[in-house]
Structure 1
Amino acid sequence: MTKNKNLRSKSLKEDSQTEFKSSFNDAAIESLSAFANTKGGRVIIGINDTGQPIKGFSIGNETVQKWLNDIKNKTQPAIIPDANTFHLDGIEIVELTISEFPIKPIAFRGRYYKRVNNSNHILSPTQISDLTLQSLQLSWDSYPAYGKTINELDWQLVEKFIERVNSAGRFQLLTDVKSSLEKLKLINNEQITNAAWLLFGKGNIGYNIHLGRFKTPTLIIDDKMFNGALFQVVDEIINYLIAHIKVAFEINGISAQRTEIFEYPPPAVREIVLLSLIHRDYRSPIDIQIKIFDNSISFFNPGKLMGDLTTKDLERNNYRAYTRNKLIAEAFYLTGEIEKYGSGFLRIRKEISIYPTMKLTVEEIPNGLNVMLSYTNQKVNTQIPKAGKTVGETVGETVGETVGETVGENLKGNSALILSYLRNNPYSTREELAKKTKLSIRGVEYQLTKLRKANIIKRIGSTKTGFWKVLD
């Protein structure tokens, strides 16, 4: 214990890392355990809730040592805070300080707490499990998928995954599929992990994604459910969403070529879908729910934000990200589906910035996280980011009956149309692009060559297994 110089009462206040106690008791130990499970903090003994010292409060020769022993005996793993004495307005008080503990969670009398604002909240079983896994640098998806065998994996899907990883160039895998999965820690000998089952399992993997087109919250126009391997259902989900959102067509009067303008930017929609699949809490029986309304799309994802991350943090560009399912996240990163950990919401905001009336809303609700893209019904001016040299063409177009967006486009006609398809599906083949654009194969090749020469797209990997990367 150390002695410190005098303090003034007005210099102290309670907050997320400071609490006042008029005397030492179990409530003080509870707060110290909550601080240890969060960002650390201090409990000041001998002052009231307003920061005024308690008259008549005194500290004996062995008092503080007895307090420290009590704290040690009632917490597990045992914590021992630093103790300092102060003179506050002439009265001696004690400050007990604890740092964030490296091994969490800390229990007080068999219960676990965390600090939220200026109060202690008891942790749920799921939160206790999350803290334990984070302390051990593990995630749920790295544990064995009990009851599942290596023969229940879709090996054709695994081979496709390996091709995409090698084409993306972020990591090189062997052609032997089993060795490749062992290298990525997706299987251990003959035992597959939860991640391997979720990514490549045959048939119904046991987790549903519900999608629906709603006219009102109770009137469903169309609905669909997916429950297959994650590596496969991503494109199926995106295709459903693209088929149910409005699209405007800009027709060039001279060449009669058309440009598609989507109601929502497909890259942002894809990013939210990937975030939902990657960060879902697969211990929860609740399903992912995606609802398309006339002016909004909502994505409900079971599992709240990890660690001390808040929805306000997601509005910043430098927020500290936590990954609930590390192996699943790594798999999508290696295939080039996601750029880097913790950049998802940054990229979403960047994509919707060209839609001035569009709003991104992220909120924690009971049992999970809800992400919504919405817009208002008004005329707007939208500037699409430059790709190569700007043509400077202004397109006046209306999407459906609600969105009237004037687009400052730098590409026109089939070039812009092909670019929009490549943003949505980088693995599009020339044949697929020809079918969508109504062009010949030769016409598609001409447009792709033009985009490559303008340094707008780049081919990654071989003609057979590679993909198109749209350059910023």
Structure 2
Amino acid sequence: MSKEVSFIDELIQHRENIQIEFVGEYNLIQILQEICSFLNTEGGWVLVGYNGNEFNDISEGIEFKVKELKNSIINQIFPQPLVDVRCEKYKNQQVLLINVIKGSRQPYSYKKKYYVRTGTKTNEATADEISLLMRTSNENTSTWEKQTAIDASLEDLEQKEIEITINESIKIGRGKSLPKDIPGFLNYFQLLDMNLVKNGSIVLFAKDPLKFISQCQIRITVMPYGKTGSRFDDTVLIEDNLFVAFNRIQEYFKRNLPMISEFKHDNWDRTNREKYPMEALDEAILNAMVHRDYADIAGDISINIYPDKMEIINSGEIPPDIISGKNIIKEHHSVFRNPTIAHMFYLRGKIEKLGRGLSLIKDRFAENGLKTPEWTSQSGYTTLTLYGYSKPIDVNERMLAYLKKLKVGEQFSREDFEKFFEENISEKTARNDISKLLEGEWVNKKGEGPSTKYVRTNKELPGIAD
């Protein structure tokens, strides 16, 4: 089962705990009304192709449906929302998974009508409900972005970055309905009001953001001797707007982070990989930029690079309903602390899977066989720890005993594994043991189904877990 499938499974299983609507057939009008209602309440998920009991085939013309739905969201819901639409495969069925980020500019309308959620139902909003939305639209989101930056003017903004944002949004199909002129564009997103430049404009586009907002800093520190070391090898201070800063961090990582050379245990071909998956690093930096608490004047973003790990620290704690422990990501719908900043990155194509960033980071590290990243929050700050070494694999005495009797290249089946222990272990235990041997690359898989065999590689025998 793929990670995407498992995510949909979790959404279905936890339908009582999260905002989710099932739409059995592809009905464009109904889907847009559901999206609008989520925008006006707490956000959530819409799953198209499943009615709550069974799946329906919506695969015919699925690419056209995705394109039609994306265009309709952009052009028919006002103001422009943050909504992610993608086609997923679930149990051999194609479904549409729609992530609706809670709107920061409520009320939202579809064809000049407003919709809200009442319990698990979508209804057209009454006059009183519309009035309430207007009064409480910013209750659960930061208003820091929309506060006026004292003494700032349009001339303090980097016009080129704003033009790139407008042009990129049009290029990737997200800006068709948006104003094309710079003042109109900024006004639309409440980044400019009556020539008053807002904080959000400064951190996103200013030529010199530090001139107006002292906490616009990102610090990269290399600590070759760990936290207790007395010497730093490198400290880079970035004081640019977010788009320039993001590019500078990318360039720093590409230039300075090492490549790892490895030999596969079934051949002598050398493979090179980045010590940390770059896609995951990009997502981690974006998360820190979008979710940090900019109102904390003492809070910047710190990136600490150690010999075996990296820490990315930003002001603002991660909500407890998103992560359990240090790395168990719960089913959730996103509420951005800085929704306008998030929207600008979305228009630039930097954010693709809305609400799935944490899972993407975790998945990329798992795909590279690295230890699972960990998130911790304390004293108003969130720390993401990324590990540059493989996650430990628990190998028991039973697994080691079987490996010792195998020669390099020797094949065996799951039944052979069970018989070796005189069938004193269950099929489930045998499968779990073999799965760990595969994960540790002590064996390789050959074939599928009943004819599956496993082949001993030349990787050295492991130690025993305590």
Q: TM-score, normalised by structure 1?
A: 0.48
Q: TM-score, normalised by structure 2?
A: 0.48
